[in-house]
Chain A
């Protein structure tokens, strides 16, 4: 089955609202990365966060190893935040091999 599951699959918000994206995994965590994928397809790295909480501007990532989950919080969303957010889990024996979730498609309405 799916080792990495993201929820929700899609999310529509009004500008200014906060977004909470979830990533759950079925295997032991060895590394966790979050990416933003632009509508054109290019990838932007957001966080490398194997455990704990990290902040970057309006973004916060929290990974809780025991609960096998990681979350991405976007505060005061903007229309430019629209796109697909991907989480990726590093494999135990080869942590450069990432298993990606199917993504959360975020749409922010003006």
Chain B
């Protein structure tokens, strides 16, 4: 089936540094998402993005977070600066639409460890 690719699968970063998580969504999809899962906890919606803009963000999407998809390339999540509580697995997802009968496709996740 359609694949969402996330690079890298693991990243370790020093607290206070900047990190960019990369996602290659399904090629013809138009809507993009990031989800966050802290180890042992529930998967939670962070943000979704369409037509170059953030459509909706949750309270977990702090001011230090930003998303973009420059020129149709990777969809990225940037955290600047990172904090210890940002350690989690971040999942990228994409979908063709956002209305009825929308199936969302997920990547395998990037495990971010902030030390």
Q: Which residues of A contact B (CB under 8 A)?
A: 30-31, 33, 35, 41-43, 45, 48, 50, 86, 88, 90, 94-103
Contact = CB atoms under 8 A, between A and B. Distances in A.
Contacts of B35: 98
Interface of B: 1, 31, 33, 35, 37, 42-45, 48, 55-56, 89, 91, 93, 95, 97-109, 111
Contacts of B108: 42-43
Given A48-B103, A96-B102, 6 more contacts: A31-B101, A43-B109, A94-B55, A96-B104, A97-B45, A100-B43
B91 to A, nearest CB: 6
Task: Among A33, A41, A96, A97, find the residue whose CB has the most chain B CB atoms closer than 10 A.
Answer: A96
A9 to B, nearest CB: 12
Nearest to B98: A96
A29 B31 CA distance: 20
Nearest to B103: A48
Nearest to B91: A43
B43 A96 contact: no
Chain B CB within 10 A, most for which of A33, A43, A88, A90 = A43
B45 A35 contact: no
Given A96-B98, A97-B45, A43 B56 contact: no
A98 B42 CA distance: 12
Contacts of B104: 33, 88, 90, 96, 98
